[in-house]
Amino acid sequence: MARLHLFDLDGTLLKGTTAPVEISRQLGLEAETVALDRAISEGLIGPPEYAAQVYTLWTDLTEAHVAAAFEGAPWLERIREVWAEIRRVGDYCAVVSLSPSFFVERLIGWGAHATYGSRFPAVPFTEPVDPTGVLSAAAKVEIAARLCREFGVASADCIAYGDSLSDRDLFGSVPVSVAVNADRHVADIATHSYVGGDLWEAYELVRSMG
C-alpha cells in the first residue's frame, strides 16, 4: 500500500523560523513578525488575525522579495532527496502549512505532490486577504483526508511531520507522526522525535515501516 507523508513547513522544513519571518526579513520587518509568531504560538491570536497582521506588514512586498526569502531560508538538508525517494518507492508527499500559499507552492518544484497554504492574494497585493482562506490546525486534518481520497491512500497509511501546536490535531488523526525540532505541544504525543538539520535522518525513522 502507498503511504502519504504530510509535512508541515514552519519550524519543520524550515529550521528555527517561519516563512512569514523570512519574507518579512526581506522588508526589514523581521522583529514585528517574530512577535506575531510568538503570539500565535502562545494562542494569543488565531490564524485569521495573524494573516491580517502580516498582510498589513507586507504592503510593499514584491515577487522578488518572496523569491529571495525562499532561496535564502534555512531549509533542512536533503528535502529534495527525501521527496525523490518517497516518489521512487511509490509513496506520496505533501506540504500543508498555515503560511501563505504563494510561498508554500514553490515546494512543488522540489518534488512535493501537493502543497496547501493559507490563500493570500497575488503579490504585489491589490486586494485584501480573505480570512476564510486562512488555514487552521483543524484544516490540516481535513486536507489530509482529502489528499488520502485523491491519492487512494488509507488514513492508516499516513505519516505526519510537524513541530508545534498547529500540528497537534493532525498528529492525533494519523497513526504515525514525527516531531521535528518540536516544542512541547507535539513532542509528547509523537510516535518518533527528531532533533537536527537533515530531513533524511527524520525520514529514516519511518522509512522501513509499512
Answer for the pair 87, 106: CB distance below 8 angstroms, yes or no. no
Per-residue model confidence (pLDDT) at position 209 = 72
Give every CB contact of residue 37 below 8 A, 6+ residues apart in sequence.
Answer: 18, 20, 21
Mean pLDDT of the chain: 96
Per-residue pLDDT for 160 more than 90?
yes
Answer for the pair 141, 169: CB distance below 8 angstroms, yes or no. yes
CB atoms under 10 Å from CB of 168, counted, come to 18
pTM, two decimals, is 0.96
Q: Which three cell numbers stand for residue 24?
A: 518579512
Per-residue model confidence (pLDDT) at position 208 = 81
pLDDT band at 189 (very low <50, low <70, confident <90, very high): very high
Q: Where are the alpha helices (DSSP H) in 13-100?
A: 19-25, 30-41, 47-57, 63-72, 79-88
Beta bridge partners of 177: 160
CB atoms under 10 Å from CB of 167, counted, come to 31
